[in-house]
Structure 1
């Protein structure tokens, strides 16, 4: 299932441009991915403003709240209300909506479920995911991931091709990241795209959270680098195996080692590099 399965989902703007080749300019039409702010309110308090690709707003909000530790568990969330119907989630039909009304999601949680000061306003317009050079990983309130499952290397070596094939918007306009979740047999659960790699991950995990799909036995594949923030998301959700077509940072590797997360980088074609906890990947014939 991909986030572009619905033919009516078009988070694209078309404009006239000048394309220049060998000093000669010609006017043409060009497509660009839409970028809009999404305000996230929890119990009537603004928590974040996310610059995102329109679509899957509820999934993005759910994934963000749980993966960022704003709530401990998805069960802490009572309701997720998108103020104005946005672009549909995978497999859902689109209804008439105004683009101006789709930029707010309101969440209600059970009493005392919110893990941040309700008076604190966190505005996130750009999240680059660099991490902190001297962070103490031992003091982080993160869960220890359970051992297992065991995955065959052949399963991993085919996942980048599957995700690229599902990144329909990237193929069309470029400029977007992808995130995908697979089971240990390599079967696709969901493929999502967004302007930022954090948002793409939040949409993918939010898709599963809202549909009661377990994450503790899944493989998460990202198109961008594995930074501190990306790894903490996977650990909070107890995803055992995190892979990327790019590289991990040193601090991210420290976190992965500390909390029993298997991390794979440079997953491209027939090659990959296993950085932490290789015991989950079996090379037995």
Structure 2
């Protein structure tokens, strides 16, 4: 059986948060943890691609996942090296195949992703050709178990807030849990992990704490994952694209409640919602005072 949480957040990592002081609503002095963000400049071979704001963990997965989700890397590309220099906040991805993306960089469009995500002109062209496996299923018993395990796992989301989380799951098992200040960064880290470890997406479930926007749908479909779940809500274009691609889209998944607005045929109702506890107030670590971003 696959081990749960092959990668999980480490809220005790001193690189990822700082302690700061201030006052609360009563005017009393407090000390709390805040999430750190730092720039990371990505190069593909000899070409500078983008500078991202990130918490700085797993720069190799983030870099590869970003390039995959922007169609700058192909699934059959051979990555020969990933060189990260923390002193100058730079990561260089080197490939066997020569690459030149000057024209592609000129036709980027802004998306609704935090920290100014970008999606390039030909991403939608590849989106049109992707076919997700129709045989994939999600049982409601899995959904309830996953949300409980994920929401109670130690994380920066619970410790400091101001961060998004994404989790790669299979059945009722959370496998890879990534966090970052931008939800697209957390997605890209998982895409990079899947590429580096040869993970088959056909039976996977993707969970996010963020909104189900067009960007989230596009990236999930590009990764070949047939089911996307969020504790947050939907955008109209996100729903439209999910229906177009045959993606199962489940939002507002909290406690016993959820809404499915696309791909409902993959859902197997095998659990009685009345037997599931309503979600309590967020479990917080001592000293956390601010809310996480949705």
1:210 aligns to 2:196 (yes or no): yes
Query: How many Å separate the matches in 1 of 2:9 and 2:73?
Result: 29
What SS does structure 2 have at the residue aligned with 1:274?
strand
**For residues 189-247 of structure 1, what are the alpha-carbon distances to aligned partners after superposition, in whole Å with 9 as ceiling and x for unaligned?**
11111111111111123222212222221000000111111111011111000111111
Query: How many Å separate the matches in 2 of 1:82 and 1:111?
Result: 17
TM-score by length of 1: 0.80
Per the alignment, do residues 159 and 186 of structure 1 end up closer, same or farther by CA in structure 2, a change over 3 Å counting?
Answer: same
Match of 1:10 in 2: 15
Q: Which runs of 5+ in 1 are unaligned?
A: 85-98
What SS does structure 1 have at the residue aligned with 2:232?
coil
Could you list the structure 1 runs, at least 4 aligned residues long, displaced by more than 4 angstroms after superposition.
Answer: 5-9, 112-116, 118-126, 129-132, 137-142
Compute the displacement of 1:106 (Å). Answer: 0.7
Match of 1:223 in 2: 209
What SS does structure 2 have at the residue aligned with 1:51?
strand
Compute the displacement of 1:270 (Å). Answer: 0.9
One of 29, 53, 56 as aligned partner of 2:55: 53
Q: Which runs of 5+ in 2 are unaligned?
A: 272-294
TM-score by length of 2: 0.78
Aligned pairs for 1:74-223 within 5 A: 75-84=76-85, 99-101=86-88, 103-111=89-97, 117=103, 120=106, 127-128=113-114, 140-183=127-170, 185-223=171-209
What SS does structure 2 have at the residue aligned with 1:239?
coil
Query: How many Å separate the matches in 2 of 1:107 and 1:130?
Result: 19
Match of 1:269 in 2: 255
What SS does structure 2 have at the residue aligned with 1:158?
helix
Aligned-pair RMSD on alpha carbons?
Answer: 3.0
Aligned residues: 261
| Higher deviation after alignment, 49-58 or 107-116 | 107-116
Query: How many Å separate the matches in 2 of 1:161 and 1:5?
Result: 18
